[in-house]
């Protein structure tokens, strides 16, 4: 496991071409690409680990990822995501391919397997719903139509602002045919079968909105992403940050932790660096923010005279829902316990919107979904470092309002009421998990629940949200969600610039680096 350098005030004496705030994959990808083009970069991370949602944490012999559960397409060497990863890691990041059955969608009456490749996926759906063959074939075609329509939409974000403005209506017209519609509206035009609708949208947790609220474009991105199989980083998700940072450092860049930024410095409408929480000012002509649009506009530009006009952008977006994650450790290997690599999506009913509405009433209501992942089974290198044990993660939605009573209390030192609340949630999640994985129950050794407060403390998301701004139809109409900002020299990257997911955040880094360099880097990868 790589150790990270802590922030030092001596950095104020060094010269950097670019400062990147936040070390999520968007920031790391931007930094690596700029470093490869001769720019000296500095990555500042407030947390004590580099990597954002790609880092891991340990408790004794156990290790869990915090955000990366599976990723599609990277097992194909010529896929777009794989080419970028190979480029920014010098080919050092390896991938463990999951079973073809990557997701299992579970309802009270039966379950449905999502199996790669795409033709098998389609055949299985038709076998499950033989009367809906025409709807299923049309649905599969739509997934690819959305992907084609999205290309000019994202390319428009990279263009110089004046050119992007001129071409905006033409380049985005086809994409808006899909992004302006909800997932529910699009699919119910194809079928009235509510069970089929529930199955097709069984991965809604991968982007955080149920069918009546989510943009169909976002649904299509996620569904298509896994059709040819899913993968997991070999050596755990922390290997992403470790391998990318190695390349950055090899090209003269620096990455430091415990480096909280207080303010982005702006003079004459141009970014000129950052002021640290410790008071030092670090100067650079380019600043890239990888901490989300809310944190950037609401927290880091408070002294900027034009802040109010930029802050108004935030009125047009809504943060995604918050969540809780139960991290479990077992004193037997994944093989001994019969853990496979298939993710479980456990639902109380086929109507996902109704499930979410009922759960929103209060924390004692039935969970709208419980997602179960088996990272120790997915990682081919797990047994080399963690012999004789296994891990599991179980995730469900939460609401920030349920946790505000403890907001002012410090991380890892909140009161007994909070701990009692967590124990109750833990027991309820375990009941569901062990109903579907009963063989693991007697071997449970460690259980640890993270809440929206944990996300706020460690990831700096003010409402404990999981995916930045929500992926509703309105979200895709926000042209300002792009690398360029109203402040010269200040750029954005991360999932708010592109969409949710590791590959999308990776792509955002490429878009941002292209915007900074005024060069289409797609042609060089």
Q: Is the pLDDT of residue 310 over 90?
A: no
* Least trusted range by pLDDT, from 99-113, 158-172, 483-497: 158-172
| CATH T-level topology, domain 5-94+234-317+469-524 | FAD/NAD(P)-binding domain (3.50.50)
Please report where in the chains the tokens 């790669």 appear, as a residue. Answer: 116
Tell me the C-alpha distance between 33 and 76, whole Å.
Answer: 22
**Nearest one of 407, 385, 380, 344 to 97, comparing CA atoms:** 380
* pLDDT tens digits along 411-464: 889 999 999 999 999 999 999 999 999 999 999 999 999 999 998 888 788 888
Percentage of the chain beyond pLDDT 90 is 89
pTM, 2 dp:
0.96
Phi (first) and psi of residue 282, to 5 degrees: -110, 130
For 53-95, how does the pLDDT look when each residue is reduced to its tens digit (9 = 90+)? 999 999 999 999 999 999 999 999 999 999 999 999 999 999 9
Joined together, the tokens standing for residue 357 give 């509405």
What does the domain layout of the chain look like in residue ranges?
5-94+234-317+469-524, 118-228, 321-459
- Please check whether residue 136 is in contact with residue 260, taking contact to mean a CB–CB distance below 8 angstroms: no
pLDDT of residue 171: 87
238 SS3 class: helix
Least confident of 53-62, 153-162, 354-363: 153-162
Burial environment of residue 226 by CB neighbours within 10 A (0 to 12, 13 to 18, 19 or more):
buried
How would you class 140 by CB atoms within 10 Å of its CB: exposed for 0-12, middle for 13-18, buried for 19 or more?
Answer: middle
Q: What is the pLDDT of residues 229-261, one digit of tens each?
A: 999 999 999 999 999 999 999 999 999 999 999
């Amino acid at each position: 496991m790589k150790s990270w350098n802590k922030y030092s005030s001596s950095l104020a004496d060094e010269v950097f071409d670019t400062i990147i705030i936040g070390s999520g994959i968007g920031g790391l990808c931007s930094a690596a690409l700029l470093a490869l083009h001769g720019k000296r970069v500095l990555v500042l991370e407030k947390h004590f680990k580099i990597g954002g949602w790609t880092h891991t944490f340990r408790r004794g012999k156990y290790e869990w990822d915090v955000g990366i559960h599976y990723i599609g397409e990277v097992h194909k060497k010529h896929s777009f995501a794989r080419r970028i990863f190979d480029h920014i890691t010098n080919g050092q990041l390896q991938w463990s391919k999951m079973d073809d059955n990557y997701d299992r969608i579970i309802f009270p009456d039966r379950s449905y397997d999502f199996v790669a490749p795409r033709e098998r996926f389609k055949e299985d759906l038709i076998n499950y719903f033989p009367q809906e063959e025409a709807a299923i074939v049309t649905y599969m075609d739509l997934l690819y139509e959305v992907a084609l329509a999205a290309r000019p939409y994202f390319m428009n974000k990279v263009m110089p602002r004046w050119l992007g403005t001129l071409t905006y209506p033409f380049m985005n017209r086809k994409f808006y045919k899909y992004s302006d519609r909800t997932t529910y509206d699009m699919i119910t035009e194809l079928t009235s079968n509510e069970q089929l609708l529930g199955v097709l949208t069984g991965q809604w947790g991968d982007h955080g909105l149920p069918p009546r609220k989510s943009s169909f474009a976002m649904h299509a991105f996620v569904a298509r992403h896994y059709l040819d199989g899913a993968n997991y980083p070999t050596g755990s998700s922390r290997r992403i940050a470790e391998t990318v940072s190695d390349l950055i450092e090899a090209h003269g860049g620096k990455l430091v932790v415990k480096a909280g930024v207080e303010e982005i410095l702006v003079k004459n409408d141009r970014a000129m660096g950052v002021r640290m929480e410790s008071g030092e000012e670090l100067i650079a002509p380019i600043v890239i923010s990888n901490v989300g649009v809310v944190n950037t506009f609401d927290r880091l530009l408070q002294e900027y005279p034009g802040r109010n006009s930029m802050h108004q952008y935030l009125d047009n977006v809504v943060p995604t829902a918050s969540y809780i994650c139960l991290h479990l450790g077992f004193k037997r290997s994944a093989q001994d316990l019969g853990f496979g690599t298939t993710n479980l999506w456990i639902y109380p009913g086929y109507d996902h919107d109704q499930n979410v509405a009922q759960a929103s009433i209060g924390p004692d209501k039935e969970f709208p979904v419980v997602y179960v992942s088996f990272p120790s089974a997915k990682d081919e290198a797990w047994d080399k470092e963690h012999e004789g044990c296994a891990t599991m993660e179980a995730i469900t939605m939460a609401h920030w309002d349920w946790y505000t009573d403890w907001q002012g209390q410090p991380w890892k030192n909140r009161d007994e009421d909070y701990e009692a609340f967590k124990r109750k949630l833990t027991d309820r999640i375990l009941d569901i998990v062990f109903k579907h994985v009963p063989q693991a129950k007697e071997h449970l050794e460690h259980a640890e629940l993270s809440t929206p407060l944990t996300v706020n403390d460690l990831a700096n998301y003010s409402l404990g949200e999981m995916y930045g701004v929500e992926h509703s139809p309105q979200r895709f109409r926000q042209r300002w969600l792009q690398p360029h900002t109203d402040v010269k020299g200040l750029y954005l990257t991360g999932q708010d610039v592109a969409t949710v997911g590791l590959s999308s955040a990776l792509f955002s880094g490429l878009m941002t680096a292209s915007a900074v360099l005024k060069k289409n880097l797609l042609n060089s990868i």
